[in-house]
């Protein structure tokens, strides 16, 4: 028997429910991205419900009231509530009034306030002053909320709102991080419940806050401007969509009837920073500092108040940031022996310190004792290495690794401002408007000066960058009658990035003697990129800069929602329409060329540089500076929250997402590659549509179904299932890359060595010149040529889909404390493999198995011939013959799946008696596919997600110490004593997490197979795995002691060399030629991480209205070093001499803006 799918079941059941109750008469209003709702039941002292009771809700700060009547079941719902503190009062004839105070409402929340009326109309009002019960009795979603007190007081390096996402159960730092130059606002890359980077939704004041290509948060709000924040990690209602990896809802602050404001400053420097043991073990030769000069200064203020009392309000704030970034780096530079013997141009070049056997790239003849005659060296290679500095420390591996340590500075300056206006136009209508503006300026100098290299800027970037972001949100809500409400929102985003090289305008490649790179075109000036794949020397030239880059993206949004209350039903339905625009003149490969030097041609990367053996040549050729794309996105939804009984609530809904294939801004400004024909369809030419004739998928219907059942007064059971679609994708999988970053606008040259004879092809003198612009035929069809990378996807645009489900049990322990135990799971389908995007559909098949050494060498030389599309197509074009395809072809086809299963436990105490805290523990397993060899054998790419940490514990707390006037202890202290002991506050957060997974490699993998991990680096992939014999998958690992001589930590001890195919050493065996080892992907785990941050605040009164605060914050207070994984292919090698070495901190920690070594910060604030 064939059973219906989860999708079919959800859609059918949701459709049935929605249409039945919508037909009854079109909505208790839940799932409001801008507002909150107060719901409840009014009863008498016997528990009988009281219909037609009058319920009045008052905003304490603004004086605005709303009044409703309870229905026949005694239930009431008051929606359209701006996040604030409210009072709720119920009255009915023959009963004494009852009211509840201090009811806190946040965006997209629905606190339940049940009131009991006592008989006797003249009796005194019964007042309840405690907050609403902490149980979530009507929301089946999995979510975490942060109120303004937590946002303002929890330790947060750089006061970055998106960092709070990491406090959510199931949230982990992403292994992929966007360069700071394209993310100057500092959005933290987070993956929730096994999702990929960029799949989270983020709405600010109910409007989209993500740019449409990468999913980066455009406006990272200042902490002063935010009233509350909610992270919905699972099973969000139908109103929220277009994202599959969680949804963040944040609301900006509004003014009140009283003027309030503050001014603040925070400061830290290198004087309060602990040393990095890997890079700061010796003073800088120039400055004498162990830690380079650093300074972080953040300052600003806010002001809010009335424009018209009880009617109109304003709030505005400004925040500035000035940062001098001090960075210490370890690099690999040519050893002294190489400098003395190889760079003079005479005598014999001694490469004996480099363990590999060195051989001629053309004849494959080995050089005895790795002594290369001067006549074989190229002047260009000598010139390039002369530009690198002299070693200044002993390093490891015969003085060839980490032999250069230095430090330097970059800058990161920014200014942010926002203004919000609110107006209670009438009793029935509220309107608001908000404008945000931010400007950031970054600079980073390269580590090797004029020779380039990694940078001293933020995130090791180089060059100059400016980011300017803007956002507008406006809307109104109107109560047509007490049971029919509508709200309208308009949103606009503008994301603008401009980036240039550190040496723009110069011609260093020409000066080194390399032709065809720095041409007469201005955009080819500056350093090329030189990548040395085996790490024998560090990468140099232009690094950490996608430049020149001009990026301009806009999103226009209109959303209209309706809510109708029908009996115990709250029906909400609406539409969300968006129009995205993207202009991205990028340099994903350096426009002056990107040269990669592996060890396959000569045995060592440094030898390849000297001998001029360029393994891979890549370059972006841009023929149009104005090519841009557009995309229409829309959604319709309907949902019902049915309060069947006071204890049982059912929520169900349906959402239809519609994303149109992107179009170009004018004919000829983009193309779509069809791998069935080998032709590129030029958009808008020859009868081809401006969307290149891509098809629209209209089947993206996603259902929602959930229930909440209050088993007892203190116990709630919740369960939900939902189906979500991702409309943003990542890096052009949905929008922004496939058309405009293709022929005829962009030419992505990508040529790897390897030909029919097995002899080498590219040297410095034979690098190709810039190809001429494409001639577009009348029929709009251009053949895809050899050597040009392209992105492909199915002709029908298909959105990734995730089925989500959860079951949770929440128990109230005290009046303000709950414990929740939840099972959370999801199944992702139609997604791209890997942590980023895309896979190579033209990855060569593995070489044919053979034991003949000569045949093995021949098979490896036939790399291009083993590509699935090699010479697949032959076309006549522009008077010649075009063949294809010997290059990598990136596919963003939604061909993979992933799954996530977790147990999540949360203990939460709301604020009372000066204390609030949240502690959560997640035990999870996330599985997905890597993309390297996925096109041929997906099974070998299946394994744990690269970012999955099995165990994660997170705790945060804010505590007002109980000393001084009005407190539990010493409440009668005199004024001076109270100044000393009163007003102290502690806050902190702690994170412990188990290690990240990684895949072991072995030394001679490049001799056995040539699977490519980085599209151009044969033999370096994570598929270079040994076989595991008995015990191989439980290979002993553990953090050893720090080696002060090599400035490294040994995480595992390597076994003896696996010298021949089939050889055994320890629990490992070298695979046979042309095969992948059986040990599996990501079977090993790295070291765990631990962080603790703490804040100490002193609050004091200056006058009756003016308050002061001193702050002291310690980030990574115990100075625990977050160790990275063994951080190179060789370090993960089980039979290499430097296998198992950890030589740096966890890069994802730095990318997440977390303190990787202890830092102290001081601050002061004045508020009124």
CA–CA separation, 599 and 532 (whole Å): 9
Preceding amide of 967 cis, omega within 30: no
Domains annotated for the chain, with CATH where assigned, are 31-136 (2.60.40.1120), 621-899 (no CATH)
pLDDT in tens, 184-237: 998 888 899 998 888 899 999 999 999 998 889 999 999 999 998 999 999 999
pLDDT in tens, 1009-1019: 888 754 444 54
Collapsed DSSP state (helix, strand, coil) of residue 1122: coil
Q: How far is residue 23 from each of residues 17, 26, 261, 701, measured CA to CA in Å?
A: 10, 7, 49, 20
pLDDT at 757 over 80: no
For residue 1021, the model assigns a pLDDT of: 62
For residue 369, the model assigns a pLDDT of: 92
pLDDT in tens, 1085-1094: 999 999 999 9
CB crowding 133-162: b at 16 or more within 10 Å, else e? bbbbbbbbbbbbbbbbebbbbbbbbbbbbb
How does residue 984 score in pLDDT terms, banded at 50, 70 and 90? very high
Preceding amide of 548 cis, omega within 30: yes
How does residue 701 score in pLDDT terms, banded at 50, 70 and 90? very high
Burial class (CB in 10 A: 0-12, 13-18, 19+), 648: middle
- Going by C-beta distance under 8 Å and a sequence separation of 6 or more, which residues neighbour residue 912? 130, 131, 815, 816
Mark out the alpha helices in 121-194 (DSSP H runs).
Answer: 148-153
How does residue 135 score in pLDDT terms, banded at 50, 70 and 90? confident
How does residue 1153 score in pLDDT terms, banded at 50, 70 and 90? low
How does residue 729 score in pLDDT terms, banded at 50, 70 and 90? confident
pLDDT at 286 over 90: no
Mark out the alpha helices in 265-378 (DSSP H runs).
Answer: 336-342
CA–CA separation, 1101 and 976 (whole Å): 12
Strand residue runs (E) in 533-647: 540-542, 549-566, 569-585, 594-597, 616-622, 629-643
Collapsed DSSP state (helix, strand, coil) of residue 262: strand
For residue 742, the model assigns a pLDDT of: 92
Contact 458, 440 (CB under 8 A): no
- Give the residue with greater pLDDT, 861 vs 502: 502
pLDDT in tens, 583-633: 998 888 999 999 999 887 888 999 999 999 998 889 999 999 999 999 999
User: Cα dihedral sign for 1036, 1042, 1046, 1048?
Assistant: positive
- Give the number of other CB atoms < 10 A from CB of residue 921: 17
For residue 175, the model assigns a pLDDT of: 76
Secondary element (H or E) of residue 977:
helix 975-981
Contact 922, 170 (CB under 8 A): yes
CA–CA separation, 1112 and 224 (whole Å): 18
Contact 571, 639 (CB under 8 A): yes
pLDDT at 1159 over 50: yes
pLDDT in tens, 338-349: 999 999 888 899
Q: How many residues are listed for the chain in this entry?
A: 1168
Average pLDDT over residues 1145-1166: 80
For residue 4, the model assigns a pLDDT of: 41
Written as six digits, the tokens of 411 are 């800058």
pLDDT in tens, 22-65: 333 333 444 456 788 888 899 888 888 899 999 999 999 888 88
pLDDT in tens, 519-554: 999 999 999 999 998 889 999 999 989 899 999 999
Q: How far is residue 1018 from each of residues 24, 648, 997, measured CA to CA in Å?
A: 64, 59, 23
Contact 525, 548 (CB under 8 A): no
For residue 44, the model assigns a pLDDT of: 86
pLDDT in tens, 781-826: 999 999 898 999 999 999 999 999 999 999 999 999 999 999 999 9
The conformational region for residue 786 under phi > 0 = left, psi -120 to 50 = alpha, else beta, is: beta
Written as six digits, the tokens of 28 are 């208790």
Average pLDDT score over the chain: 89
For residue 137, the model assigns a pLDDT of: 86
For residue 616, the model assigns a pLDDT of: 86
Contact 912, 900 (CB under 8 A): no
For residue 691, the model assigns a pLDDT of: 96
CA–CA separation, 1086 and 279 (whole Å): 21
Burial class (CB in 10 A: 0-12, 13-18, 19+), 98: buried
For residue 255, the model assigns a pLDDT of: 94
How does residue 641 score in pLDDT terms, banded at 50, 70 and 90? very high
For residue 28, the model assigns a pLDDT of: 42
Which residue is associated with the tokens 């503190």? 85
CA–CA separation, 1146 and 948 (whole Å): 14
For residue 754, the model assigns a pLDDT of: 56
Average pLDDT over residues 747-761: 61
- Which of 610-624, 848-862, 993-1007 has the weakest average pLDDT? 848-862
Per cent of the chain over pLDDT 70 is 93
CA–CA separation, 202 and 251 (whole Å): 11
For residue 398, the model assigns a pLDDT of: 85
For residue 29, the model assigns a pLDDT of: 43
pLDDT in tens, 433-474: 999 999 999 999 999 999 999 999 988 889 999 999 999 999
Average pLDDT over residues 388-415: 91
Specify which residues 119 forms β-bridges with: 95
pLDDT in tens, 117-127: 888 765 566 66
Contact 218, 202 (CB under 8 A): no
Which residue is associated with the tokens 């290059």? 887
For residue 650, the model assigns a pLDDT of: 96
For residue 126, the model assigns a pLDDT of: 67
pLDDT at 958 over 50: yes
For residue 812, the model assigns a pLDDT of: 95
Average pLDDT over residues 1043-1053: 87
């Amino acid at each position: 028997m064939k059973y219906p799918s989860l999708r079919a079941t959800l859609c059918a059941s949701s459709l049935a429910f929605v249409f039945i109750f919508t037909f009854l008469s079109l909505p208790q209003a839940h799932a409001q991205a801008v507002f909150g709702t107060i719901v409840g039941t009014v009863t008498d002292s016997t528990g009988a419900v009281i219909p037609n009771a009058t319920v009045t809700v008052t905003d304490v700060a603004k004086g605005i009231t709303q009044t409703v009547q309870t229905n026949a079941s005694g239930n009431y719902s008051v929606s359209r509530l701006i996040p604030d503190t409210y009072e709720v009062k119920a009255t009915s004839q023959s009963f004494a009034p009852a009211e509840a105070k201090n009811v806190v409402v946040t965006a997209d929340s629905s606190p339940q306030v049940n009131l009991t009326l006592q008989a006797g109309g003249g009796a005194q009002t019964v007042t309840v002053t405690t907050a609403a019960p902490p149980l979530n009795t009507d929301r089946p979603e999995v979510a975490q909320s942060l109120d303004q007190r937590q946002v303002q007081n929890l330790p947060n390096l750089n006061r970055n709102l998106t960092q709070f996402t990491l406090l959510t159960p199931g949230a982990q730092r992403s292994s992929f991080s966007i360069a700071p130059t394209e993310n100057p606002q500092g959005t933290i890359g987070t993956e929730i419940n096994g999702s990929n980077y960029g799949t989270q939704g983020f709405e600010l004041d109910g409007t989209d806050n993500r740019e449409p290509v990468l999913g980066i948060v455009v406006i990272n709000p200042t902490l002063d401007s935010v009233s509350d924040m909610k992270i919905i990690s699972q099973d969000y209602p139908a109103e929220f969509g277009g994202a599959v990896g969680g949804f963040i809802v944040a609301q900006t602050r509004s003014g009140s009837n009283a003027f309030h404001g503050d001014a603040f400053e925070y400061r830290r420097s290198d004087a309060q920073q602990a040393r990095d043991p890997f890079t700061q073990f010796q003073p800088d030769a120039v400055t004498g500092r162990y830690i380079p000069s650093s300074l972080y200064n953040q300052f600003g203020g806010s002001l809010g108040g009335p424009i018209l009392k009880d009617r109109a309000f304003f709030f505005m704030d400004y925040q500035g940031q000035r940062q001098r970034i001090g960075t210490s780096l370890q690099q690999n530079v040519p050893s002294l022996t190489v400098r003395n013997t190889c760079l003079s141009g005479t005598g014999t070049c001694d490469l004996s310190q480099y363990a590999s056997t060195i051989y001629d790239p053309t004849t494959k003849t080995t050089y005895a004792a790795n002594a290369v005659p001067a006549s074989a060296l190229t002047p260009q290679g000598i010139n390039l290495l002369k530009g690198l500095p002299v070693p200044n420390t002993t390093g490891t591996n015969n003085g060839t690794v980490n032999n250069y340590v230095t430090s330097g500075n970059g800058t990161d300056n920014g200014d942010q401002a926002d203004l919000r206006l609110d107006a209670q136009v009438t009793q029935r209508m509220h309107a608001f408007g908000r404008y945000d503006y931010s400007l950031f300026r970054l600079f980073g100098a390269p580590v090797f000066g004029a020779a380039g290299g990694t940078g001293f800027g933020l995130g090791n970037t180089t060059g100059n960058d400016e980011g300017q972001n803007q956002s507008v949100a406006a809307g109104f809500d109107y109560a047509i009658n007490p049971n029919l409400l509508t709200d309208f929102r308009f949103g606009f985003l503008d994301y603008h990035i401009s980036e240039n090289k550190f040496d723009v305008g110069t011609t260093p490649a020409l000066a080194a003697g390399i032709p065809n790179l720095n041409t007469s075109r201005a955009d080819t000036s500056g350093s090329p990129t030189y990548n040395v794949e085996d790490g024998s020397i560090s990468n140099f030239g232009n690094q950490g800069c996608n430049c020149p880059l001009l990026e301009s993206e806009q999103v226009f949004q209109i959303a209209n929602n309706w809510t109708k209350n029908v009996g115990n039903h709250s029906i909400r339905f609406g539409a969300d329409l968006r129009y995205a625009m993207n202009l991205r003149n990028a340099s994903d490969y350096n426009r002056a060329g990107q040269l990669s030097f592996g060890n396959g041609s000569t045995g060592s990367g440094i030898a390849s540089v000297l001998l001029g053996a360029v393994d891979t040549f890549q370059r972006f050729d841009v023929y149009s500076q104005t090519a841009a794309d557009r995309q229409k996105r829309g959604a319709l939804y309907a949902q019902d929250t049915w309060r069947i009984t006071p204890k049982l609530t059912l929520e169900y809904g349906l959402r239809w997402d519609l994303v149109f294939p992107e179009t170009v801004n004018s004919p000829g400004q983009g193309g779509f590659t069809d791998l069935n024909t080998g032709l590129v369809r030029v958009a808008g030419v020859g009868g081809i549509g401006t969307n290149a004739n891509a098809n629209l998928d209209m089947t993206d219907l996603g259902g929602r179904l959930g229930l909440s059942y209050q088993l007892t007064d203190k116990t709630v059971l919740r369960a939900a299932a939902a189906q979500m679609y991702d409309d943003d994708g990542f890096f052009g999988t949905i929008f922004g890359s496939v058309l405009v970053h293709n022929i005829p606008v962009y030419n992505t040259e990508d040529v790897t060595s390897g030909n029919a004879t097995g002899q080498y092809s590219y040297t410095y003198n034979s690098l190709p010149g810039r190809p001429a612009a494409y001639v577009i035929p009348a029929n709009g069809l251009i053949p895809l040529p050899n050597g040009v990378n392209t992105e492909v996807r199915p002709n029908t645009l298909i959105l990734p889909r995730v089925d989500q489900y959860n079951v949770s049990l929440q128990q109230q322990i005290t009046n303000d404390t709950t414990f929740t135990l939840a099972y959370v799971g999801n199944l992702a389908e139609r997604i791209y493999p890997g942590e980023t995007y895309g896979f190579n559909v033209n990855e060569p098949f593995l070489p044919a198995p053979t034991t003949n050494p000569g045949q093995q060498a021949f098979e490896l030389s036939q790399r291009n011939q083993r590509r699935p599309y090699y010479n697949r197509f032959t076309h006549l074009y522009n008077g010649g013959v075009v063949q294809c395809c010997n290059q990598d072809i990136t596919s963003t086809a939604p061909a993979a799946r992933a799954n996530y299963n977790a147990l999540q436990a949360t203990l939460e105490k709301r604020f009372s008696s000066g204390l609030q805290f949240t502690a959560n523990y997640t035990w999870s397993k996330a599985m997905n596919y890597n993309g390297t060899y996925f096109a041929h054998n997906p099974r070998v790419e299946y394994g744990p997600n690269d970012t999955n940490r099995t165990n994660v514990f997170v705790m945060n707390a804010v505590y007002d110490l109980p000393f001084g006037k009005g407190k539990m202890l010493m409440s009668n202290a005199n004024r001076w004593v109270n100044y000393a002991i009163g007003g102290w506050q502690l806050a902190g957060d702690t994170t412990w997490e188990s290690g990240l997974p990684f895949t072991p490699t072995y030394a001679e993998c490049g001799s056995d197979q040539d699977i490519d991990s980085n599209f151009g680096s044969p033999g370096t992939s994570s598929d270079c795995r040994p076989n595991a014999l008995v015990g191989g998958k439980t290979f002993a690992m553990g953090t050893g002691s720090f080696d002060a001589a090599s400035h490294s930590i040994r995480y595992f001890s390597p076994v003896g060399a696996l010298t021949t195919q089939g050889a055994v050493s320890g629990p490992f065996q070298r695979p046979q030629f042309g095969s992948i080892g059986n040990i599996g992907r990501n079977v090993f785990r790295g070291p765990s991480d631990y962080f603790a941050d703490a804040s100490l605040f002193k609050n004091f009164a200056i006058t009756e209205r003016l308050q002061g605060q001193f702050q002291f914050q310690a980030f990574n207070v115990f100075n625990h070093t977050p160790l990275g994984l063994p951080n190179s292919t060789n370090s993960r090698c089980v039979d290499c001499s430097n296998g198992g070495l950890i030589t740096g901190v966890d890069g994802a920690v730095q990318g997440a803006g977390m303190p990787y070594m202890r830092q102290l910060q001081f601050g002061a604030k004045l508020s009124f």
